[in-house]
Chains A and B, each alone.
Chain A
Amino acid sequence: MHAVGQSVARKEAPNKVTGRARYNGDATPVGTLTAVIVPSRHAHARLRQVDVAPARRMPGVVAVLTGQDADLLCGEVLEDRPPLARGTVRYHGEPVALVIAHGEAEARAAARRVAIDCAPLPLVASVEAAVAPDAPLIHPELGAYKRAQPPVVPKPRTNIADHAKIRRGDPAEGWAASDVTVSGHYTVPQVDHAAMETRSARVEILHDGRVIVQSTTQAPFEVQKLLAQSFHLQQGQVIVDVPLVGGAFGGKAAVQLEVLAYLASRAVNGRPVQLVNSREEDMATSPVGMGLVADVKLGATRDGLLQVAELTFLLDTGAYTDSTPRVARAICSECTGPYRVENVRCDAYTVYTNHTYATAFRGFGHFPLTFAIERTMDRLAATLGMDPVELRRKNLIGPGDRTPTRMMLTRSTLGDPRTCLDRAAALLAGPPVQPTGPHTVRARGLALFWKTSSSPPNAISGALVSFNQDGSVNLSTGTVEVGAGTKTTSAQILAEQLGIDVDQVHIHTHINTKVDPEHWKTVASMSTFMAGRAVMEAAEDAKAQLKSVAAIALKCAPGDLSVGQGRVFLTADPNVSVTVSDVAHGYSYPGGDAVGGQIIGRGSYIMRHLTLLDEETGEGHPGPSFTVGAQGVEIDLDTRTWQYRVVRALTVVDAGRAINPAGARAMLQGGMCMGIGLATREGVLYDRDGQRLNNQLRTYKVMRAGEQPDAYVVELVETPQIDAPFGARALGEHGLLAMPAAVAAAVSHAIGRPVDHLPITPESLWQLSRSAEAAR
């Protein structure tokens, strides 16, 4: 009986194809009030007056709140964000007031009556403008903000909310040793998570002091802590309940609507209030993924050995920081890409602008980082006249090397980037560009990625396993099922450890912070590793208990026994056994008297040996291991219209071990498709007044059927991570990480000049060709 390595269907799959799978908006109790956000129509303005009286008089309205009713600041790292604007609005779409009514129609009608009187302030429309010497300040109070989760290094009286650094080796020495220097300037716009389910939250404050929160969050335990902290409650009073989540991609790790729904419920004597984002609100009011402006400079010897890297990153966090300072450190940690570079200087600035604020996005900064570093590697290859694959092979990081944060790598922590590169290069064999017709070319591009978790050093995860009388088991973990199949993976790990069928493992699909053990957050592709470790420990604990009860029944020592196939048996003689169901709820003697009790296994995991990055040097240990991989694309491009299609996309990734191979492939392919979308069309747009232009799915373009490649190729390399469950590495985010870089490489080959800005649209290529002609 083997559960690990099998492509078992997701536990909740039958409910998902019958419409019976429950999401947050699917069971709203009668009597729940509806709250609607009144958004700012200015991107940067001083609030003179918010007149709620006309709205308050509208039929069905119960209460209207403004910033005056919410005297607190929120922020995962730096507390800089009022849940409702106070004094100043800093982005178009920012919540200014909250209307609470009996129904959505009444609430929306009233929301239109809230009169916001404000005086426009000078707009800060880009990170470059934000760091200019005379830039208007978006947060004059920056120096006074509380640092909730250091490290974070704000620069008061600037728009720089945080400065993260890597200082390794001696760049001057590196430049001296370099024969060749290349540099590049890259931009990646803010992007939208565009999960199909918009964010929503419902809060009810009971008179016994309990606060019931129902939410689409990826981070129920974070919601619990933040509400408890903000409103002076015991954590146990706050109960966060999360059903299935309809896609998240990092966007639901930010805590926003839960705070607003709490304020709303508090204002109406604790009655249940729900707040459901419209798509427009989800895109313009709730956080997006950060944008990036990168300057990368590499030095190498003439035979292509990297000597030095200097990198400057401006992260467009929009109006508030949320998790961006953590993203900045994640970027620093892997700033060189998976290459050996001894001399590194990296500065990552989290920069305020009057854009929608940013939070985590699938990959935690790594798709923009990968774009910047891989584009520069291609430049270096071109300058050296060297094959880009050869240049990468020459400089690949390996066991015994140190990362930019000076973490010493082993085969277990790193995996096998060389095999990934070699396989991907073989799969992508062919000239960089070849004509396929009078005006059409086929081009190829390849890029590498690496990523570690960049999770807090004390991130925890727990698991509880309780036995039913018939020997089947109930498994409870704190991970949220956002679509990644984490619950099924955990069930497979448990089944394997207990030697039972996956069908005999019954999972908690919904998370409830009151009964489920904590899992830090369902982010960073860490569920298989962290929850998996906890599940393995819980299984061992349960097995020890099974053996101790069975030892009484079988008149032997527990150490003589093994568990498997639904039995507890003498290792030396499997014929001597009891069934698990004989001992799962205590063992009964023939006379009816009994010993033992219910078998309840517990497992608990905390990250080991991780450290925060040093503020000056960046030295530290940001994650338990890496996932490395290579990705490539083939494109067909029309040199008259600049239209192109990705016709083939491939990923070779070191998966460590695929616990659910079909699930892993599906996850990676889905990521590749998203990555092609990021490369080819996605990007948040603002007009000259900072108003959000594309806040709908018809204007913010995501991939649709027929736009995907004709062929996806996914190959898994399996270099086990020794301390991970069955060696499995993180995979959830990785399918998209190098796709934009690979597409850019292919397009650059196709048009014969470097493409350094995302997204790469026919229009942007046309403009690039025009500017090249003008420069000629």
Chain B
Amino acid sequence: MQSTNTGRAEHLLTVNGEQRRVSLRPADTLLSTLRDELGLTGAKPGCENGDCGACTVLVDGVPMKSCLLLTTEFVDQDPPRSVETVEGLDGADVQRQFLQHWAFQCGYCTSGFLMLVEGLRRQQPEANRDERVDWLRSNICRCTSYAELIHAVEAVLGHERGAPRSS
């Protein structure tokens, strides 16, 4: 890896299936690399503390808070580790269901919730109601009533067998 005299170095990072060359300080978070280096601003800083989840992305298919990850952990890996952001979702069901169920208002937390629910779909598609809610609790939405988000999740995963439909 090429070092520069500013303490930055160039590395390869795989994002949304594309290999990208990024310039890093060792302390750079994945969130700052995505936003400031790669212009992938869908992931948002809400607290930079792991509390709100607005920065959630998928790392190897698992939702993670990119404000708590150091980019250096994910660069130059063989096989490459996969980082997926909201920009990599292309007409995914979760996007349609968020639209359909009014699962956002201001939209700032939306990218994070989308990636969280996409991760849930991939990791635990059979999740029951309590498990779904546990997943959703990692992120905060200040605008909606959460019912909209839960309805969107139900639409993505299917209604739980035997569970009552909420009104």
Inter-chain contact A245/B106, CB cutoff 8 Å: yes
Inter-chain contact A244/B107, CB cutoff 8 Å: yes
Given A705-B136, A706-B133, A19-B147 contact (CB < 8 Å): no
Inter-chain contact A708/B147, CB cutoff 8 Å: yes
Given A17-B98, A706-B136, A485-B105 contact (CB < 8 Å): yes
Inter-chain contact B108/A246, CB cutoff 8 Å: yes
Q: Which residues of A contact B42 (CB under 8 A)?
A: 18-20
Q: Is A156 an interface residue (CB 8 A)?
A: no
Inter-chain contact A194/B142, CB cutoff 8 Å: yes
Q: Is A135 an interface residue (CB 8 A)?
A: no
Which residue of the partner chain B has the closest CB to A713?
Answer: B167
Q: Which residues of A contact B105 (CB under 8 A)?
A: 247, 483-485, 666-667, 670
Among B45-53, B58-66, B70-78, the one that faces the other chain is B45-53
Q: Which residues of B contact A615 (CB under 8 A)?
A: none
Within 8 A of A (CB), among B86-112: 86-87, 89, 95, 98-99, 102, 104-111
Q: How far is the CB of A27 from chain B (nearest CB, A)?
A: 7
Q: Is B13 an interface residue (CB 8 A)?
A: no
Q: Which residues of A contact B99 (CB under 8 A)?
A: 9, 13-14, 17
Q: Which of B52, B114, B140, B166 contacts A711 (CB 8 A)?
A: B166
Q: Which of B27, B110, B139 contacts A16 (CB 8 A)?
A: B110
Docked complex Cα distance between A580 and B14 (Å): 50
Which residue of the partner chain A has the closest CB to B115?
Answer: A19
Within 8 A of A (CB), among B127-167: 133-134, 136-137, 139-150, 166-167
Inter-chain contact A27/B41, CB cutoff 8 Å: yes
Inter-chain contact A483/B107, CB cutoff 8 Å: yes
Chain A: residues with Cβ within 8 Å of the partner, total of: 58
Q: Which residues of A contact B167 (CB under 8 A)?
A: 711-713
Q: How far is the CB of A345 from chain B (nearest CB, A)?
A: 38
Q: Which residues of B contact A20 (CB under 8 A)?
A: 42, 87
Q: Is A75 an interface residue (CB 8 A)?
A: no
Q: How far is the CB of A720 from chain B (nearest CB, A)?
A: 25
Q: Which of A19, A485, A713 contacts B87 (CB 8 A)?
A: A19
Inter-chain contact A17/B45, CB cutoff 8 Å: no
Inter-chain contact A483/B146, CB cutoff 8 Å: no
Interface string of A684-699 (1 = CB under 8 A from B): 0000000000001110
Docked complex Cα distance between A674 and B166 (Å): 20
Interface string of A279-308 (1 = CB under 8 A from B): 100000000000000000000000000000
Q: A-side binding surface: helix, strand, loop or mixed?
A: loop
Q: Which residues of A contact B149 (CB under 8 A)?
A: 705
Q: How far is the CB of A11 from chain B (nearest CB, A)?
A: 12
Inter-chain contact B106/A483, CB cutoff 8 Å: yes
Among A195-203, A314-322, A750-758, the one that faces the other chain is A195-203
Which residue of the partner chain B has the closest CB to A671?
Answer: B145
Inter-chain contact A18/B143, CB cutoff 8 Å: no
Inter-chain contact B95/A23, CB cutoff 8 Å: no
Q: Is B11 an interface residue (CB 8 A)?
A: no
Q: Is A673 an interface residue (CB 8 A)?
A: yes
Q: Is A482 an interface residue (CB 8 A)?
A: yes
Q: Which residues of B contact A710 (CB under 8 A)?
A: 166
Docked complex Cα distance between A245 and B146 (Å): 20
Inter-chain contact A249/B146, CB cutoff 8 Å: no
Listed by A's residue number, 27 A-B pairs whose Cβ atoms lie within 8 Å are A13-B104, A17-B104, A17-B110, A17-B114, A19-B86, A21-B107, A22-B41, A23-B41, A28-B36, A195-B142, A196-B141, A244-B107, A246-B44, A246-B106, A663-B102, A669-B148, A673-B146, A698-B51, A702-B140, A704-B136, A704-B137, A705-B133, A705-B139, A706-B136, A706-B146, A707-B146, A712-B145
* Other 16 A-B pairs with CB < 8 A, given A12-B107, A482-B106: A16-B110, A17-B86, A18-B87, A196-B46, A196-B106, A196-B140, A196-B141, A198-B45, A279-B49, A483-B143, A674-B142, A696-B49, A697-B49, A706-B134, A708-B146, A711-B166
In the A-B complex, the 6 residue pairs with the closest CB atoms = A19-B42, A246-B108, A483-B106, A16-B107, A705-B136, A19-B86
A residues touching B (Cβ–Cβ < 8 Å)? 9, 12-23, 25-28, 105, 194-198, 244-249, 278-279, 482-485, 662-663, 666-667, 669-670, 672-674, 696-698, 702-708, 710-713
